[in-house]
Amino acid sequence: MNGDLGITILASVFTLGLVVIVHELGHFLFCKLFGVYVKTFSVGMGPKLLVRRWGETEYALSLIPFGGYVKMAGEGMMEEIQDTGTLDQRKYPLGTEAGNRERAGVDADIPADRKFLNKPSWQRFLVFVAGPLFNLVLAYVIYTGLYLHEGVPLNPVTEIGTVTAGSPADRAGLLPGDVFVSVAGQPVDDWYAMLDRLGEAAGLNGAATTIRPVEVEVRRDAAIVRTEVLLAREPQTGEWQLGCDAHDNLVGRVQRSGPADRLGLQRGDRIVELDGAPVRSHRQVLEIVQASAGRPLAIAWERDGQTLRGSVTPEAFEILPDSTVGRIHYEKLQESRNLGLREALVFGHRQTWHTTSQTAAELARWVKERMGLDSVGGPIRIAQVAGEMARWGFDRLLVFIAFFSVNLFLLNLLPIPVLDGGHVLFLVLEVLRGKPVDERVQGIATQLGLIILLLFMTVVLVQDGVRVFAG
């Protein structure tokens, strides 16, 4: 088996397996907490491949790996939908008087107080939302663990590489080669810390709308130059911009088997020329590479005082339908600052919230702008990204798993029958009406939701295949 293909398969199985197991474990543990009788805990859907019974519960590995389920006694129509084998054993449809009697006979040995629909509404609500919440917790645990293990990234330079004409940095008289010494009277030795201090001093890290000028000191040749910087917000995004980049054209991590790796780039190399133009920042390298997918680029880099030259062809990477950028798959050189457990917990929370809010915003934009299904990735795309992240390193695969887990948290809470959010919707209607929604209505809505979900997955899967085999 090809090495990269093997990595992709293992990474995708690990990714899907972990998020599905954690999701279903949430439902399962809350069932056990409230004394609900669990018939089956399945990783995967459809026909069961491996089955083992421990105690009252059957644990199964099923054929279709995209999902799983926890089958509870007294769950109603979902018992029929989850286990295809049960449908063949039923003589009468569920929801009819005869069907209900038949089901009661099958579950006659299970105490009434252990059946799901006999539990209080607040317990059923927690069982429904536990799966998505466990996905969110998984993301938080991963982010916190990575911060604890790797620390927070530092960009260990304060030298300016490039200055954008007309930007706040340009209006303040800053020049390429200037080295930031202090911001608002505080010394700085890291580009990220410099930007954080600059935004804080300007009053832009909170909800304030007034931007204050900030005094900065830079070393220019042998002299210290003082000037004031008045930051500006980007009209479209609302984010503030300084308008200069760090002199950070040093190579950091290189992806295994990528164009940069095949070229021979190593950690610590400094890229000084690309496509015939001198470069002084990572951003300059990105701009040239992204605009040159599939086109060979002449490249020069420095290593141990020597200048090496070669040619690299950026690989095309799709970011939107009919929109690709070039990538050579390396990262700029960064260092890190170690964190204690308390700090790691705080940073993990911030990153989880950031990922969740950004993903929710993208989902809302997808709905608002009525973006087509061609902008959605399916199982093949997930496998591709998982494999790509694994080739960067196991830590990057974990970052992708956290991102993917947040996506599942949000998607599963959508009020669509067959998803957890659909169950919550029926439960809310039950509380408002004072009685459950008719079981046959729930069953029809759930089956329609399942059909729509399967059609959606089929379309996305076909699109994935077209992208792979046509590209």
Task: Per-residue pLDDT tens, the chain, 471 aa: give them.
Answer: 456 778 888 998 899 889 999 999 999 999 999 999 999 999 888 788 899 999 889 999 988 777 788 988 887 655 555 544 343 444 445 555 555 555 555 566 888 889 888 899 999 999 999 999 999 999 999 999 999 999 988 888 899 999 999 999 999 999 999 999 999 999 998 898 899 899 889 887 655 567 889 999 999 998 999 999 999 877 666 678 899 999 988 999 998 888 999 999 999 999 999 999 999 999 899 999 999 999 999 999 999 999 999 999 999 887 655 678 899 999 988 888 899 999 999 999 999 998 998 888 877 777 676 555 555 566 677 788 888 888 888 998 999 999 999 988 998 898 888 788 888 998 898 888 888 887 777 777 777 777 777 666 666 656 555 555 544
The answer to whether the beta carbons of residues 326 and 294 sit under 8 Å apart is yes
Q: Quickly name the fold that domain 155-246 has.
A: Pdz3 Domain (2.30.42)
CA 427/CA 44 separation, integer angstroms: 25
Residue 89, pLDDT score:
47
Residue 68, pLDDT score:
85
Q: Which of 26, 22, 28, 32 is nearest to 40 (CA)?
A: 28
| pTM given for the model | 0.76
What's the CATH code, domain 251-333?
A: 2.30.42.10
CA 65/CA 300 separation, integer angstroms: 46
CA 149/CA 171 separation, integer angstroms: 41
Residue 92, pLDDT score:
44
CA 15/CA 365 separation, integer angstroms: 26
Residue 373, pLDDT score:
53
- 365 in helix, strand or coil? helix
Domain edges within the chain: 35-118, 120-151+341-419+457-471, 155-246, 251-333
Q: Do domains 155-246 and 251-333 have the same CATH topology?
A: yes
Q: How far apart are the first and last CA of the chain?
A: 21
Residue 167, CA atoms < 13 Å, CB-side half-sphere: 15
- Provide the residue count of the chain: 471
Cα–Cα separations (whole angstroms), residue 198 to 144, 175, 189, 204, 236: 27, 17, 13, 9, 21
The answer to whether the beta carbons of residues 73 and 31 sit under 8 Å apart is no
The answer to whether the beta carbons of residues 139 and 402 sit under 8 Å apart is yes
Residue 86, pLDDT score:
40
CA 344/CA 341 separation, integer angstroms: 5
Q: Which of 435, 406, 467 is nearest to 22 (CA)?
A: 406
The answer to whether the beta carbons of residues 143 and 351 sit under 8 Å apart is yes
Beta bridge partners of 246: 160
Residue 361, pLDDT score:
81
**208: CB partners within 8 A, 6+ apart:** none
Residue 310, pLDDT score:
95
The answer to whether the beta carbons of residues 314 and 210 sit under 8 Å apart is no
The answer to whether the beta carbons of residues 196 and 189 sit under 8 Å apart is no
b/e map 100-110, b = 16+ CB within 10 Å: eebbeeebeee
Residue 85, pLDDT score:
39
